[in-house]
């Protein structure tokens, strides 16, 4: 696995004004969580973080290099939560989880379908519905996949694939509800109304990616 590096430093100050100042300087307020230890408030460069996520995905193991009182310490972490403002197209906040490379961890990874256009049900006019866009998996950090591929090329109308039927990489297993439908092909029963489409397009609130504890500073804004 490629070594993914990200520089950071201890965050000075707290509260809304301090967070705004950090963002104005091109950084992202963040928190590093660890088992049995107090959370550490930090900040990372916005451009470096966005580039890292786009290139390696959100489930990559990151070596977080923190500058603490003039000394550099390296910590293996994963991203537990990203809070994104899709209107301004920037990251508002990120939570990191300190990990032990010899202990299994649970994370959410995206489900990606392949063979969509080859599915008999789609060719017959059916709609491929992504019931789940991600699932929770468990594995050692070095075995974490960036995504789970779902082959839907053989699905007919009415067919579905459950979580228990997904092909998982070696050393990885799903901990989401195994009986949950992941994808299916169905008839398009009715078109969405103009009101429904307008409501979807007008939704522009910041989106929280991944599951984790939100930063209280963001809640107070």
What is the structure's pLDDT at 187?
A: 86
Check residue 72 and give its pLDDT.
Answer: 87
Class level of CATH domain 4-99: mainly beta
Q: What is the pLDDT at residue 194? A: 52
Q: What is the pLDDT of residue 201?
A: 57
Check residue 2 and give its pLDDT.
Answer: 61
Report the CATH architecture of 106-190. Beta Complex (2.170)
Give the pLDDT confidence score for residue 47 in this predicted structure.
95
Tens place of pLDDT per residue across the chain (221 aa) = 567 999 999 988 778 888 999 999 999 999 999 988 889 999 999 999 999 999 988 888 999 999 877 788 899 999 999 999 988 889 999 999 999 999 999 999 999 999 999 999 999 999 999 999 999 999 999 898 889 999 999 999 999 999 999 999 999 999 999 999 999 999 876 445 455 555 555 555 555 555 444 344 443 33
SS3 sequence, the chain?
CCCEEEEEEECCCCCHHHHHHHHHCCEEEEEEEECCEEEEEEEEEHHHHHHHHHHHCCCCCEEEEEEECCEEEEEEEEEEEEEEECCCCEEEEEEEEECCCCCCEEEEEEEEEECHHHCHHHHCCCEEEECCCEEEEEECHHHCCCCEEEECCCCCCCCEEEHHHCCCCCCCEECCCCCCEEEEEECCCCCCCHHHHHHHHHCCCCEEECCCCCCHHHHHC
What residues does CATH 2.40.240.10 cover in the chain?
4-99
pLDDT of residue 1: 53
Q: State residue 219's pLDDT score.
A: 35
Model pTM greater than 0.85? no
- Return residue ranges of the chain for CATH 2.170.120.20: 106-190
- Residue 206 confidence (pLDDT): 58
């Amino acid at each position: 696995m490629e070594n993914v590096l990200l520089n950071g430093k201890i965050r000075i100050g707290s509260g809304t004004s301090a967070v705004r100042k950090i963002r104005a300087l091109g950084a992202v307020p963040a928190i590093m969580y660890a088992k049995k230890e107090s959370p550490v408030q930090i900040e990372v460069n916005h451009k470096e973080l966005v580039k890292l996520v786009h290139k390696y995905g959100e489930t990559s193991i990151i070596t977080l290099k923190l500058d603490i009182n003039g000394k550099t310490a390296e910590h293996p972490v994963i991203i537990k939560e990203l809070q994104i403002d899709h209107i301004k197209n920037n990251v508002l906040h990120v939570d990191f989880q300190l990990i032990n490379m010899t202990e299994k961890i649970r994370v959410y990874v995206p489900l990606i379908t392949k063979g969509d256009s080859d599915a008999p049900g789609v060719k017959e006019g059916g709609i491929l519905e992504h019931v789940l866009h991600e699932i929770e998996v468990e594995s050692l950090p070095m075995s974490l996949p960036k995504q789970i591929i779902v082959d839907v090329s053989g699905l007919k109308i009415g067919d579905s694939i459950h979580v228990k039927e997904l092909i998982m990489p070696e050393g990885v297993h799903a901990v989401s509800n195994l009986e949950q439908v992941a994808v299916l092909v169905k008839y398009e029963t009715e078109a969405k109304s103009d009101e429904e489409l307008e409501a979807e397009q007008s939704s522009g609130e910041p989106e929280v990616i991944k599951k984790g504890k939100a930063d209280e500073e963001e809640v107070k804004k």
